[in-house]
Chain A
């Protein structure tokens, strides 16, 4: 647990970087600090390991006041990941990861052996161990940065925009692996980002800060989207928050329609026989969806050919049965046939669903929530 107690940072000229911040980042969870430039989110993070000392208030790590701990000692017990990773260019990947354990007195051999295990854990092959940071891509460097922060197995991790400097595809990979890693490790993590989407995706709790270092709202992501505390938060979480909130709504049992699919290698004639509205779904031998085949414009003479991957339209996204309403709606909206493809957890085709059907589910869910809210309000009124 990281607890901010009326924490403030005032600079000599009187400007406040952080103003009377009080919040508790729960143990074993990810707390994201998000806000526009100059809102004091990075300052807040850096006060936790005393890279910056607060001018007011206290910060507690569990029951220890950080101000009472020697800064170097404190920092060795807290993982630290920054934008651009900040790897030591003169040390190999392995020695970078082994840095903190060796500062703590672990012998080189043990530290390196542990470092090697960690590399694997963050998704880097052991062959990277002897390379230097300059030989890695930005995404790989950041993986090493995460491994280095984890090396001494600290209970608390601070991450300052760790995924901001990589391209969107790599960023999403890193985010997903970060969540997987966190589900295994259960660290207490304070995470800074300027990207509200990243905050909502990663945070168990999100602290939205506004310029002047004030906390605007501290809540779980779903609540942030459904009940922004004020106009600033509403504006910051953005326009399509209604749609994004669906990302937190489990799809439940969707009314799937059966759809006869053709397998790769079958004839186009077979495909035409099962097509609805001119589109046939194509799956592979394991019943995993491969794409849609358009059969509208084909002459009879062309139907003797077989279904090959290069004929397929790959436009549609896949939703999983255990997924969210957002996934399901997106699958329906993106499908060239208008029928969204839903798969089981193992990737096998389960059925299709239309946007209208997903919307029906969204409507009925919203009605339930409204009814609950009204009931809660009535109860509140009675009490």
Chain B
């Protein structure tokens, strides 16, 4: 790394040249394919983690049971040495899966054991932020609101779906964003194990060969990973704005509060006539 930094002027001009050369983007080994793989891996991992963490978090938050277990498991998972575990799983899985499997879509030839190892370990990485944010979000719902919902005759599942979940959405989505960023970042490190695609491939390979030929692709990929993370987080932020009620996020138009009636009256009247 020090060699790269010492010669940074040359290197960054190399990066500019690398990124502006069309042939580096296209083709089966181009940047676009690696970006696509990176996104697909991250999506699979985060979705799987959410499928595990969301239901557990919702139920634990709603019932208040198993909080200690959830906190314990989440903390334990945070202490998992990610890279070490990936290597361990890979070494254990690799001999069991024939090398000619794979080579479909985003899987490289011989990449199946790597892929399985990486997915499992990164799910373990992504579960804690989703799980803890979900249960904390549900727990943080105003007890008076929950009491009112029950007192009006909502059943337990209705209270969860219609009241607790919408109120907890900002925290839940922020947990998902957190997990997504961690997964995108850690995928680059996971490419240390052979056979994994994604932008990490350039970085892992570049580290082996640097600085002679490897450095412009390696630095380009590093920049692209950072950009990818920013873009994905921006998209999730947009999703959050769309699905979280303005009453919860505080994004209601301030016109309503400062000028009672001026903007809302036509809407309401329209509704009256419709009804």
Contact = CB atoms under 8 A, between A and B. Distances in A.
A17 to B, nearest CB: 17
Q: Kindly name the residue among A51, A82, A127, A134 whose own CB sees the greatest number of chain B CB atoms within 10 A.
A: A127
Contact of B144 (A49, A82, A130): A82
B271 interface: yes
Interface in B219-275: 245-248, 250, 252, 256-257, 260-261, 264-265, 267-269, 271-272, 274-275
A84 interface: yes
Contacts of A135: 252, 256-257
A109 B275 contact: yes
Q: Kindly name the residue among A75, A85, A90 whose own CB sees the greatest number of chain B CB atoms within 10 A.
A: A90
A213 interface: no
Nearest to B244: A90
Contacts of B167: 88-90
A132 B142 CA distance: 15
B256 A99 contact: no
Q: Which 5 A-B pairs have the closest CB atoms?
A: A132-B247, A113-B275, A86-B148, A76-B153, A127-B261
A318 B153 CA distance: 46
Q: Kindly name the residue among B150, B166, B250, B275 whose own CB sees the greatest number of chain A CB atoms within 10 A.
A: B275
A37 to B, nearest CB: 18
A72 B154 contact: yes
Interface string A73-94: 1111100101111111111101
Nearest to A133: B247
A66 to B, nearest CB: 13
Given A82-B151, A100-B152, A113 B272 contact: yes
B260 A113 contact: no
A165 to B, nearest CB: 10
Contacts of A127: 260-261, 264-265, 268
A103 B166 contact: no
Interface in A278-314: none
Contacts of A84: 144
B166 A130 contact: no
A46 to B, nearest CB: 8
Contacts of A133: 247
A125 B149 contact: no
A75 B245 contact: no
Contacts of A49: 151
A51 B151 contact: yes
B151 A75 contact: yes
Given A126-B269, A132-B246, A133-B247, A88 B153 contact: no
A128 B267 CA distance: 11
Nearest to A103: B153
Contact of A100 (B153, B268, B269): B153
Contacts of B145: 86-89
A75 B156 CA distance: 13
B163 interface: yes
Contacts of A82: 144, 147-148, 151
Interface in A52-84: 72-77, 80, 82-84
